[in-house]
Amino acid sequence: MLDAGYWMLLSPSCKSAIRNLKSKISPGRRPLRAGGRNRTMALIVQKYGGTSVADLDRIQKVAERLIRVYSAGNDVVVVLSAMAGETDRLIQLAHQITNDPNRRELDVLVATGEQTTVSLLCIMLESMGCPATSLLGHQAEILTNRAFGRARIVGIHATRIKELLSQRKIVVVAGFQGRDQQGNITTLGRGGSDTSAVAIAAALNADVCEIYTDVDGVYTADPNLCKKAKKIEKICYDEMLEMASLGAKVLQIRAVEFAKKFNVPVHVRSSFQEEEGTMVVKEEVDMERLAVSGVTYTKDEARITLSRVPDKPGIASTIFTAIGEAGIVVDMIIQNTRKGGLTDLTFTVSKSNFPKAMAIQNEVAESIGAEQVIGDEHIAKVSVIGVGMRSHSGVAAKTFAVLAKENINIIMISTSEIKISCIIEEKYTELAVQVLHHAFGLDSP
Amino acid sequence: MLDAGYWMLLSPSCKSAIRNLKSKISPGRRPLRAGGRNRTMALIVQKYGGTSVADLDRIQKVAERLIRVYSAGNDVVVVLSAMAGETDRLIQLAHQITNDPNRRELDVLVATGEQTTVSLLCIMLESMGCPATSLLGHQAEILTNRAFGRARIVGIHATRIKELLSQRKIVVVAGFQGRDQQGNITTLGRGGSDTSAVAIAAALNADVCEIYTDVDGVYTADPNLCKKAKKIEKICYDEMLEMASLGAKVLQIRAVEFAKKFNVPVHVRSSFQEEEGTMVVKEEVDMERLAVSGVTYTKDEARITLSRVPDKPGIASTIFTAIGEAGIVVDMIIQNTRKGGLTDLTFTVSKSNFPKAMAIQNEVAESIGAEQVIGDEHIAKVSVIGVGMRSHSGVAAKTFAVLAKENINIIMISTSEIKISCIIEEKYTELAVQVLHHAFGLDSP
């Protein structure tokens, strides 16, 4: 039911829009009572990505959705990204000046992207008769450290947001940005708006944080690659973290970390349809039925092998210190001892770091007397993930058997409590994902 | 001479640029001593308008000029407008949503314009090896009232600016914008960047506030209209205020008011050439040589006459209350009493308000029994301005005689201590300006 008190404030055109929308409100929502103080309502944080606010038409769609949720009596905080492509455009503009733009100033520049979308959405909402106020990162008091371009949120003083909510306003917060202790504008890095939204939801103790995106949820595998993949209704934080780390691009890792830390229920769903998406929540007992919740892959890694390295103490340290000092993150490492005091050392890095890492290793190889450095960019990492592994034995053995049956050679293996990752030849990626998906009972229906 | 201490911080490419620039520094500048504390330097506030930062090439020109002034040992604060056309583009974007966009949110939107230019200039300066930091209106603590879109500056806490200057940084401040007590973004209205610059210069007790614009100074008349107009070297605040109010568009009125109030020397000059422009300063004795300093005109007014109004107390109040309530500002007012208890009442409004004012007066005329309402859009206001009038008698008489000699009919007259304004038929504008310019000895040699 619509809140009668606020209904009166809406303009006629908006009212008719809401009348139409009203009938669509899903029956699963909490029933509401009219009026101010006594209404039983939820506090909902919604985040919309760049494609959802790419132009005024889409911003209007977002406004309509918000008015629907707001008019149902809920308190609503919205977190927005910049229009799709805008952040890249601004970064490119700065790069026309220099290859290495001052980081503080680059953050000032790119922060205009969300400033534009939040003000436009508020102008849209207000023009539809719905009270709304925008807050930039510093106004919402999203406090970060001073790492420009990749800042981390250290705290949120939600007093201003709460004050505006108590005035029954929709609060529209610029995602991706915050301020440091000195009041400098900072940005959180790629995908930072997810993190903004979850952090704000945590600070407000919101009932749910809804992440609106261009896919309709988290799937058991990439649907583009595995036709039988199905949407996961519920997934726990740890699984989602592994999924995000191991290739699923639907949610930013740091956002999931925040959600886990502050126990924020996250609902990943599509901004283009009404259907429920995937709930990311605390681990529950009924989640443990299946051993494996999903299969992911990434083709973003490359492998480097130093062969016939003299096996002396300190060799590994020499090799990885050089890599670390170049700012390159190493993922998997394997060492095979050969006969005659020699060893082979293999590790993976991201493809973007591969040329630099090869150059460094060629130098290192000479200095430590390794026979040769072999690089391979044609690899993929396929992972099976599930908290169920903790109580189901034999998941690793089954994984290896399934791949072996298809004659897929496993080049490297890495495991954790809830995941098994295998490096294989890139050309087998699709096949590996499909057979694992089938073997662990994930195929729909 | 360059400041040796900071010279070392500059990159080689910048150094060579500065070597080239060094030779161009005008000899009139204050000599400087090398070193930190003991240098004799000036604190200079420079403001660049939209055309001066319209693209990256022009921003580079600004950066080069700044480095030259900075490298000469001066402390430099820069105030920027948005790129030419950008503010209009943003306003239009909002107007695509609604004809009456929420004012608070519109300010958030348009404030991105200066945010973009200040960050780009800082990226440019830093890439040239020159330390620079941008400050947005709220970061520079430009405090305003809450009148969104036309806010007035109520105070500036210059602590952050001073701190950055003490670190020998060029401080680049976003003009046109500030924040209210609650931290909302406000904008100062058209031309507000001039006011920002003068207010900052006042807060810093700067040696000079340089307003860089697309003309090279203030002229005795509009050079497009009066070929013999010449650049004024020095003009006092009161004259500049009248000039700005009466048609000279070179400097915003509120900026001049601020400059007068806080005694800030303002230097109006061209961003496209090196020559000195016009100094706007406190009144000095040697300024009083000429009776008239300049001749201005505006074609932006229209005249409304209510004829044969019954001459009763309260009639003028009725007429102008209706106009005032519609937010229309009236400029000149004349009342002529006729025989038989009737009177004619004539006043001028800006052309943009003319249709609305006519509509109101037609209603008023009916209610008070006036015979008719006559409108005239084809008028111009020509003014002669000069503090010298105070000590030169006969300026008014001479003005009227000069116009009469050319058969130019004076429709309305308004005077102050330092100006005489005449409303004439629009078609005589050019002629009137030229003959007055000549008659008061302003023609260049």
CB within 8 A of B286, min separation 6: which ones? Answer: none
Express each pLDDT in B274-326 by its tens digit. 899 999 999 876 655 678 999 999 999 999 999 998 888 888 888 899 898 88
Q: Assign 3-class secondary structure to chain A.
A: CCCHHHHCCCCHHHHHHHHHHHCCCCCCCCCCCCCCCCCCCCEEEEEECHHHHCCHHHHHHHHHHHHHHHHCCCEEEEEECCCCCHHHHHHHHHHHHCCCCCHHHHHHHHCHHHHHHHHHHHHHHHHCCCCEEEECCCCCCEEECCCCCCCCEEEECCHHHHHHHHCCCEEEEECCEEECCCCCEEECCCCHHHHHHHHHHHHHCCCEEEEEECCCCCECCCCCCCCCCCECCEEEHHHHHHHHHCCCCCCCHHHHHHHHHHCCCEEEEECCCCCCCEEEECCCHHHHHCCCCEEEEECCEEEEEEEEEECCCCHHHHHHHHHHHCCCCEEEEEEEECCCCEEEEEEEEEHHHHHHHHHHHHHHHHHHCCCEEEEECCEEEEEEECHHHHCCCCHHHHHHHHHHHCCCCCCEEEEECCEEEEEEEHHHHHHHHHHHHHHCCCCCC
pLDDT at A87: 94
pLDDT at A250: 81
pLDDT at A286: 62
Whole-number Å distance between alpha carbons of A314 and B445: 88
Contacts of A115 in chain B (CB under 8 A): 108-109, 111-112, 115
- When CB atoms are compared, the residue of A123, A134, A138 closest to B94 is A123
User: A56 and B116 in contact by Cβ < 8 A?
Assistant: no
CB atoms closer than 10 angstroms to residue A351: 14
Q: CA A250: distance to chain centroid?
A: 5
Asked if B392 and B291 touch (Cβ cutoff 8 Å), the reply is yes
The CATH code that applies to domain B284-445 is 3.30.2130.10
User: B116 and A112 in contact by Cβ < 8 A?
Assistant: yes
Asked if B211 and B47 touch (Cβ cutoff 8 Å), the reply is yes
* A97–chain B Cβ distance below 8 A for any pair: yes
Angstroms from A214 CA to nearest CA on chain B? 24
The CATH architecture assigned to A4-214 reads 3-Layer(aba) Sandwich (3.40)
Angstroms from A107 CA to nearest CA on chain B? 8
Express each pLDDT in B328-354 by its tens digit. 889 888 888 777 888 888 999 999 999
* A117–chain B Cβ distance below 8 A for any pair: no
Contacts of B106 in chain A (CB under 8 A): 119, 123
Whole-number Å distance between alpha carbons of B427 and B412: 16
In chain B, which among 200-239 make CB contacts under 8 A with chain A?
Answer: none
Six-digit token string for B293: 């300093």
Asked if B262 and B45 touch (Cβ cutoff 8 Å), the reply is no
Q: Assign 3-class secondary structure to B163-204.
A: HHHHCCCEEEEECCEEECCCCCEEECCCCHHHHHHHHHHHHH
Express each pLDDT in B215-236 by its tens digit. 889 999 998 889 999 999 999 9
In chain A, which among 241-280 make CB contacts under 8 A with chain B?
Answer: none
pTM of the model: 0.81
CB within 8 A of A6, min separation 6: which ones? Answer: A70, A71, A168
Contacts of B97 in chain A (CB under 8 A): 56, 120, 123-124, 127
Task: Identify the bridge partners of residue A134 per DSSP, sorted by sequence position.
Answer: A172
Task: Identify the bridge partners of residue A366 per DSSP, sorted by sequence position.
Answer: none
- The DSSP output letter for B277 is -
Q: Tell me which H or E stretch contains B16.
A: helix B12-22
In chain B, which among 125-184 make CB contacts under 8 A with chain A?
Answer: 126-127, 132-134, 136, 138-139, 160, 183-184
Angstroms from A112 CA to nearest CA on chain B? 5
- When CB atoms are compared, the residue of A123, A138, A184 closest to B97 is A123
pLDDT at B286: 63
User: What are the mean pLDDT values of chain B's consecutive 10-residue runs (445 residues total)?
Assistant: 31 40 35 41 95 95 96 97 95 96 97 98 97 97 95 93 97 97 92 93 96 89 90 92 80 90 94 90 72 91 92 84 88 83 90 93 90 94 90 87 93 89 95 95 84
User: A94 and B120 in contact by Cβ < 8 A?
Assistant: yes
Q: Which residues of chain A have pLDDT under 70?
A: 1-40, 285-289
User: A122 and B116 in contact by Cβ < 8 A?
Assistant: no
Per-domain residue ranges for chain A? 4-214
Interface test with chain B among A57, A64, A105, by most B beta carbons within 10 Å? A105
Contacts of B56 in chain A (CB under 8 A): 93, 96-97
- When CB atoms are compared, the residue of B96, B109, B183 closest to A139 is B183
Angstroms from A273 CA to nearest CA on chain B? 24
Whole-number Å distance between alpha carbons of A187 and A195: 11
pLDDT at A285: 64
